[in-house]
Amino acid sequence: MTAMTSFTDKHNRTYKTYRQKTQVTCGPACCLIMWANVYHADPIADEGGVIALSQAYPKPWNHSTGAEINNLSGVLRSMAVPNQVETFASTGDLRSALHRRVHFGKPALAFAEWEVDATVVGHFVVVGYADARADEWTILDPMNGSQETTGIPAYYPVTDDADPPVLRFTGAVVFAL
């Protein structure tokens, strides 16, 4: 069983969250976070189990590139989390869809990118709360910890890094159904 930690946001919603084990396991970690917040329980699976499930789908997780969003959607279906992948070309459409479709027990897995030494790096996070009108978002980030933020599609995680990354959501999202 994967032991999850709890995070309560300013809206008094408590989420289950988890810290990824390696630099490239954000996707599998987010699958565990998604399952835990859909079923409100600690998952029996661990990152290794999620990685093993990913091998059954096209573009499986690997040590050098990590995960791919459509692969993670298949993994989530295998984990009994009904879901739908959507891609939004505009910031307004992304914010609106998150606002309409993310609810307590119905999180979304989202893909973001940032630049490191002129190289684009991808990262998965889970959106647990989305209010586009108030510009308030709860991000369950397996690398940087759970955060409450504004300004989506840009996400500025609070970290101990001297030069923290600025992540930009790409518009690729897996919605729990």
Residues 34-49: tens digit of each pLDDT: 999 999 999 999 999 9
Q: Would you call 82 helix, strand, or coil by DSSP? A: coil
pTM to 2 decimal places:
0.97
Residue among 12, 5, 19 at smallest CA distance from 148: 12
Burial 145-168 (b: 16+ CB within 10 A, else e): ebbebeebbebebeeeeeeebebb
Please say whether the structural domain 5-176 has been given the CATH code 3.90.70.10.
yes
Report the pLDDT value the prediction gives residue 174, as an integer from 0 to 100.
98
pLDDT band at residue 163 using 50, 70 and 90 as cut-offs: confident
pLDDT band at residue 89 using 50, 70 and 90 as cut-offs: very high
Report the pLDDT value the prediction gives residue 127, as an integer from 0 to 100.
98
Q: Determine the Cα–Cα distance for residues 130 and 168; give it in Å rounded to an integer.
A: 16
**pLDDT tops 80 at residue 118:** no
**pLDDT tops 80 at residue 145:** yes
What is the signed CA dihedral for 16, 19, 23, 24, rounded to 10 degrees? -30
**DSSP category for residue 114:** E
Q: Determine the Cα–Cα distance for residues 70 and 136; give it in Å rounded to an integer.
A: 27
Length of the chain: 177
**pLDDT tops 90 at residue 119:** no
pLDDT band at residue 79 using 50, 70 and 90 as cut-offs: very high
Report the pLDDT value the prediction gives residue 49, as an integer from 0 to 100.
97
Asked whether 71 and 109 are in contact (CB, 8 A), the reply is: no
Average pLDDT over the chain reads 96
Q: Determine the Cα–Cα distance for residues 63 and 108; give it in Å rounded to an integer.
A: 24
